[in-house]
Amino acid sequence: MKISKRLPKPRDRGSALIEFVLFGLVAQIGILVFATDLLAHQKIQMAVESTAKQGARTAALPGLGPVDIEEILRQQSSNFGLQPGRLQLSLSPNQPVAGDLVTATASIDGISASARMRVPR
């Protein structure tokens, strides 16, 4: 108690408020927004890579139909918490035959990934 009485009165109250707003709010929120953006981007990349892989694997199986692609898209959208219809998947060639190399390309909002597998000869 005696010590605090001897100390000079603090004269930096205004400065503390500015420092709190600048470093405590602006910088931290900026980093948080940056991190959220980056992680959301990585999530989309993982979603398209996983979908392309699933697409290629399904296409390499005999008896592929349009229902299988719809099922992959539905499952992957559910797994990654994406809105239905946002995720797209295309196969090349559309109706692969034995020995073909099939390429599956998945995309969301311009971010795409492709995977390739060979249909058993």
Partner 1 sequence: MKNILRYLNQDRGSQSILGIGAAVFVLALTLVTVSSTQLFRQQEQVRDVADSLALDLADLLRHNALERLKDPLLPKVDIAYEAPQELNHLANGSTSARHSNLRSARQVGDTQVAVTVCQASALAQLPIIDGFAGPAEICAKAQAKTLLPG
Q: How many helices (DSSP H) and strands (DSSP E) are in the chain?
A: 4, 3
13 forms part of the interface with partner 1 (CB under 8 A) = no
- Which of these ranges, 17-25, 64-72, 74-82, 83-91, lies near partner 1 under the rule CB under 8 A? 17-25
- Fill in the per-residue mask, 29 to 58: x = in contact with partner 1 (CB under 8 A), - = not in contact: --xx-xx--xx--x--xx--x--xx--x--
Considering beta carbons, is residue 74 or 118 the nearer one to partner 1? 118
Exposure b/e, 88-116, CB count within 10 A at least 16 = b: ebebeeeebeeebebbbbbbbeeeebbbe
In whole angstroms, how close is the CB of 3 to partner 1 at the nearest point?
A: 5
